[in-house]
Amino acid sequence: MTEKMVLINEEGIRTDGRKPSELRPIKLEVGILSNADGSAYIEQGKNKILAAVYGPREVHPRHMALPDKALLRCRYHMAPFSVEERKSPAPSRREMELSKVIREAFEPTIFLEKFPRTSIDLFIEVLQADGGTRCAGVTVASLALADAGIPMKDLIAACAAGKVGGKIVLDLNDIEDKEGEADVPVAYMPSFDAVSLLQMDGLLTGEEFQQALSLAIEGCRQIYILQKEALKAKYQAIKESVEVAEQE
């Protein structure tokens, strides 16, 4: 290992100029792919991630269909060019695990029982990765599901907190994720105060973890507001285009 880099300076400013409890700039767009039933795009820091939803639709292969509810399938995948060293396009073990925990994060919010014998397929493609892709992936997938008109109890917002240079910080970027002491990704249903995804790696004391968890939840609440704005913006744009057409 080379010498430890300075991830947070004496004034508490991070490598990208943020304060400890500050999110990276987030840009959200809803309904950007014409074939998918629902789609969305997120930029969070240098992360660029697409999500698309197909369904509820007929299940293939048919034997996987469930008699009493929809089958939710999720694929989290990173493009080969999304990282520094080319990543093999074959699904890695990491991607398999993340696909599973992301699916489990959405199962509690979707009214799956309303669509028996169907599948809802959720695809998350990371086009450029900059740390915290699973959380940004959940945030954007939530919008794609809403865009597909899938009934949900709540939108799910996700954000990580962690420990970097001895401080608890929000929304770790790539370097902080790799060189930092700990990372706690959280997905959260704000209307229910319920955590639907939680992982952790690194080393944290019980108190530090508690701080990180509340900071991550605070980040989720901020992202939740942005998600709702992004959904409204799509329909606002449609409304405006109709108004323009009527005037002509």
Partner 1 sequence: MTSVMVSRIRRQQIAQLIDDGKRLDGRGLKDYRSTQIESGIIGKAEGSARVRLGKTEVMVGVKIDIGEPFSDRPNEGVLTTNAEFVPLASPEFEAGPPGEESVELARVVDRGIRESKAVDLEKLCIIPGKKVFVVFIDVYVLNHDGNLIDASTLASIAALMNTKVFRYELKEEEIKKKPEFVKLPLKDIPISVTFASINGKLIVDPWLDEEEVMDARLTISFSNSGKICAMQKGGSGTLLPQQIIEAVNIAKEKAEELREIVVKS
Closer to partner 1 by CB, 34 or 205: give it.
Answer: 205
3-state secondary structure of 78: strand
To partner 1, the closest distance from the beta carbon of 108 in angstroms equals 5
Is the separation of the CB atoms in 233 and 213 below 8 Å? no
Indicate which single residue of 11, 68, 193, 243 sits in contact with partner 1 (rule: CB under 8 A): 193
Indicate which single residue of 12, 60, 191, 192 sits in contact with partner 1 (rule: CB under 8 A): 192
To partner 1, the closest distance from the beta carbon of 83 in angstroms equals 12
Does residue number 202 form part of the binding site for partner 1 (CB under 8 A)?
Answer: yes
Indicate which single residue of 201, 221, 235, 240 sits in contact with partner 1 (rule: CB under 8 A): 201
Number of chain positions touching partner 1 (CB under 8 A): 34
Closer to partner 1 by CB, 92 or 236: give it.
Answer: 92
Closer to partner 1 by CB, 29 or 154: give it.
Answer: 154
Closer to partner 1 by CB, 36 or 156: give it.
Answer: 156
- Convert residues 161-190 into a mask of x (bound to partner 1 by CB under 8 A) and - (unbound): -----------------------x----x-
71-78 and 47-58: which strand pairing?
A: unpaired
Helices 133-147 and 93-106 meet at what angle, rounded to 10? 50
The sheet with strand 118-128 has its strands ordered as 26-30, 38-44, 47-58, 118-128, 71-78
Q: State how far Cα 112 lies from the chain centre.
A: 20
Interaction residues for partner 1, span 77-106 (CB under 8 A): 93-94, 96-97, 99-101, 103-104
Q: Which residue in the block uniquely carries the two structure tokens 């292969």?
A: 61
Pull the structure tokens for residue 71.
Answer: 């089958």
Is the separation of the CB atoms in 185 and 98 below 8 Å? no
DSSP 8: B
Closer to partner 1 by CB, 27 or 100: give it.
Answer: 100
Does residue number 125 form part of the binding site for partner 1 (CB under 8 A)?
Answer: no
Residue 132: C-alpha distances to residues 41, 56, 173 (Å): 15, 28, 7
Closest-CA residue to 124 (of 100, 107, 149)? 100
Indicate which single residue of 209, 218, 228, 233 sits in contact with partner 1 (rule: CB under 8 A): 209
To partner 1, the closest distance from the beta carbon of 242 in angstroms equals 39
Closest-CA residue to 50 (of 150, 159, 123)? 123
Q: What's the 3-state SS for 68-88?
A: CCCEEEEEEEECCCCCCCCCC
To partner 1, the closest distance from the beta carbon of 176 in angstroms equals 16
Q: Which residues would be at the binding site for partner 1 (CB under 8 A)? A: 1, 93-94, 96-97, 99-101, 103-104, 107-108, 184, 189, 192-206, 209-210, 213-214, 217
